[in-house]
Structure formats: structure tokens, C-alpha cells
Amino acid sequence: MMLLYEGKAKQVYSTEKENEYIVYFKDDATAFNGEKKAEISSKGILNNKISTIMFEMLHEKQISTHFVKNISEREMLVKKVEILPLEVIVRNITAGSFCKRVGIEEGIVLDEPIFEICYKNDEYGDPMLNDDHAVAMKLATRDELKFLREETLKINELMKEFFLKMNLKLVDFKLEFGKDSEGNIILADEISPDTCRLWDVDTNEKLDKDRFRRDLGDLVKGYEEVLSRISN
């Protein structure tokens, strides 16, 4: 196995198979573009388990993902893809950077989901783009952007419904997509409380990375609660 890429929360390794990679989930937590950092024991294990359940659920609903199988506590076998340099965000309830940017209160349920794209670039703080910017920068074509929006909104409906059954509100989340060897765009990266805001339906308790970002309580307890609800 050769380390091909190391990000803030994961490592990607090659395998003996040309078209498969291994994703290793680390315990590192970062926020505010890497300004706040910590190592949180067992976070990687929880995110690997939660992501596995989410990718399996989406696969059952005919969504193509890079997930192949879970191979260990911290490792997932995935299809080799070239990650698009875009972060795709959906918001169902106001929170986070949207509130900060426009001065809107947190917790307002939106009449329809907001779809955003950001340029995956740490140096520039992942700036938000519109379609014209993304096309001008040759990050994606118009057709690819149309597909990303439609696919992401479909995934939003499936995830919202899935989490609601577990008494969790899907506030917002980030997805990343990649191109496989045949040129198909498929869902990649991870789906975990690092990348989704999840609130308890009854109490609005935050069970996601905001616990770390805003010192709202034990992060592991929150992630364990999410895992235990979706494991049933």
C-alpha cells in the first residue's frame, strides 16, 4: 500500500488493484480552515462506521458511490476516482457560514433547500462559486454542474428521510464527487457528523462537529449517539 494523499481527516492509499483505493479515517479534528486542531480518540472509527452505513443506504436507493466495502475499523475500500475540486453543500435549516455571511438567525427551516458550490482550495478558504465561476475556471462543465445539483438534491431527500426516522434533523451537509475510470461522476469522500450538521428532533441538541467547533460538549458522545441511532 502506498500513501497517495493525506487530508485533514483521512488518508488515501493505493492497493494492488489499479482501480481501487483504501481510505483510512484518522482521529484528527480541524475547524476554521485548520486554525483549531485536536486529536479525538476514536473519531475515525466512528466516521468510518457512519459513512459505511450512509453509503450502503444510498446504494440501496440506486445512488452510485465510490464505496466498495468496509475492511477494518478505520479502513474502507473504495473505487478509484479523481475528486472534483468542488465542495457541494446543501442547507435545509440555517446554520454555520450562511448565518455568519448574511446575518440570518440559526435554526430557520428553509422552504426549499439551498444548493451551494465551493472551490476546494484551503489557501483561499474554499470560496463559494456560482456556476459561471466554476465553468470559467474549468472546474466542471454546465452539464456536470446540472448533474451535481440534481444528484445532490436527490441525495438530500434520501438522507433527510433516513435521518428523520432516527429522530435526527439534517440541517446541512457537504458532499464531494469524483470521476471514475469510465468518466462517470459518482459520490465520494465521506458522509459523517464531520460533514453533516445533525440535530436531535426533540431537543435540537447538536450531535455533529459543531460540538468541537463551538465547544458544545463531548464530540465522541455526539457521534456515538448518531451511530447508535442509525445502526438499528
> Least distance in Å: CB of 2 to ligand UDP?
26
* Residue closest to 31 by CA, chosen among 192, 229, 209: 209
Residue of minimal Cβ distance to ligand UDP: 96
> Least distance in Å: CB of 5 to ligand UDP?
16
Inter-helix orientation angle 43-60/219-230, to 10°: 30
> Least distance in Å: CB of 212 to ligand UDP?
10
195 binds ligand UDP (CB under 6 A): yes
Give the residue with the Cβ less far from ligand UDP, 67 or 173.
173
CA 64 – CA 41 distance, rounded (Å): 31
CA 131 – CA 117 distance, rounded (Å): 8
Binding segment for ligand UDP (CB under 6 A), chosen from 52-60, 65-73, 146-154, 192-200, is 192-200
User: Footprint of ligand UDP on residues 111-150 (CB under 6 A)?
Assistant: 126
Please work out, in degrees rounded to the nearest 5, the angle formed at the alpha carbon of residue 56 by the alpha carbons of 13 and 83: 40
43 binds ligand UDP (CB under 6 A): no
CA 146 – CA 148 distance, rounded (Å): 5
List of residues contacting ligand UDP (CB under 6 A): 87, 89, 95-98, 126, 172-174, 195-197, 209
